Amino acid sequence: MLKLFVIVECDTCGEAFEPVAVSCDRNPSAWRYLAAELATRAEGSGWNLYRGAYLCTDCSEDMPCLPAE
């Protein structure tokens, strides 16, 4: 069985966003949807995407001034 796990990790401290996305579908278009959905959920929970890097809530708060993109 093929099982794909999609995990969003903080690029600063390595913390993983919970939950992870899991798929047994072999269709790559389904995988892209999983990644986009998980990224949206992470951002809705306080994670930030800054210059291509994900920052967890704690690391985002440590940034003195996080500009909007």
pLDDT at 53: 87
What does the alpha-carbon distance between residue 26 and residue 69 come to, in Å, rounded to a whole number?
34
Quick: pLDDT tens for 52-63: 889 999 988 877
pTM of the shown model: 0.73
CB atoms within 10 A of CB 55: 23
What does the alpha-carbon distance between residue 18 and residue 56 come to, in Å, rounded to a whole number?
11
CA nearest to 15, candidates 35, 45, 51: 45
Quick: pLDDT tens for 11-41: 999 999 998 989 998 888 878 788 888 989 9
